[in-house]
C-alpha cells in the first residue's frame, strides 16, 4: 500500500478554491518530481561511463595504430603508409557499430515498461 505522501488526496465535494489549488499543486509535484528523483544519479553514472569508455577505446585504437606502424612492415613504404590508419578506422567503425547495436531503451521507472 502506498504511503500518504505519494498518494494524492481525494478532493471533497464542497472544497474551496484554496483547497483545489493545493490539491492541483500536490498532484503536479507527484506526477513531475516523483519520476525524476533518481534521474540525476542515473544520468551522472551513464555520462561517466560513456566518457570512460570513450577514452579507453581511443587509447586502444591509438595503441593499435602504434603497433601496426612499429611492429609490422605496413608503415615503412611511402606508398602504403596509409594502411595502418585505414585498419584503425575500420576497427573503430566496427567497435562503434557493436556499441550502437547494444543500445536499448531503459526506463527510470520499471513500471513504465510497455
pLDDT tens for residues 70-99?
898 887 778 888 999 999 999 999 999 998
Indicate whether this model's pTM tops 0.75.
no
Residues 59 and 108 in one domain: yes
Same domain? 29 vs 44: no
Higher model confidence: residue 84 or residue 107?
Answer: 84
The number of beta carbons lying within 10 Å of the beta carbon of residue 44 is 10
* 27 and 73 co-located in one domain: no
Q: CA Rg, the chain, in Å?
A: 27
Q: 112 pLDDT band (50/70/90 cuts)?
A: low
Regarding whether 54 and 84 lie in a shared domain, the answer is: yes
In this prediction, residue 63 carries a pLDDT of 97
| 29 and 46 fall within a common domain | no
Range of the domain at 79: 39-112
pLDDT of residue 91: 98
Q: Are residues 27 and 81 in the same domain?
A: no
**Within this chain, do residues 44 and 95 fall inside the same structural domain, yes or no?**
yes
pLDDT of residue 80: 85
Whether residues 43 and 27 share a domain: the answer is no
Q: Which residues are within 8 A (CB) of 39 and not within 5 positions of it... i.e. 6 or more apart? A: 108
Dump pLDDT digits (tens) for 35-74: 777 777 888 898 999 999 999 999 999 999 999 988 988 8
Distance between CA atoms of 112 and 114, rounded to whole angstroms? Answer: 6
The answer to whether residues 75 and 105 belong to one domain is yes
How many domains does the chain contain in total? 2
Burial class (CB in 10 A: 0-12, 13-18, 19+), 88: buried
Q: Write out the three cell numbers for 107.
A: 526506463
- CA dihedral (11, 16, 17, 23) in degrees, to 10, reads -30
pLDDT for 57: 96
More confident residue, 21 or 13: 21
Residue 71 and residue 17 share a domain: no
- Indicate if 64 and 51 belong to the same structural domain: yes
Amino acid at each position: 500500500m502506498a504511503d500518504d505522501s505519494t498518494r494524492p488526496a481525494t478532493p471533497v465535494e464542497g472544497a474551496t478554491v484554496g483547497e483545489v489549488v493545493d490539491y492541483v499543486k500536490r498532484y503536479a509535484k507527484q506526477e513531475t518530481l516523483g519520476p525524476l528523483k533518481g534521474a540525476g544519479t542515473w544520468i551522472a553514472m551513464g555520462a561517466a561511463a560513456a566518457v570512460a569508455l570513450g577514452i579507453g577505446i581511443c587509447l586502444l585504437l591509438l595503441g593499435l595504430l602504434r603497433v601496426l606502424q612499429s611492429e609490422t612492415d605496413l608503415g615503412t613504404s611511402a606508398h602504403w603508409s596509409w594502411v595502418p590508419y585505414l585498419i584503425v578506422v575500420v576497427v573503430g567503425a566496427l567497435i562503434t557499430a557493436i556499441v550502437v547495436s547494444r543500445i536499448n531503451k531503459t526506463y527510470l521507472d520499471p513500471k513504465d515498461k510497455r
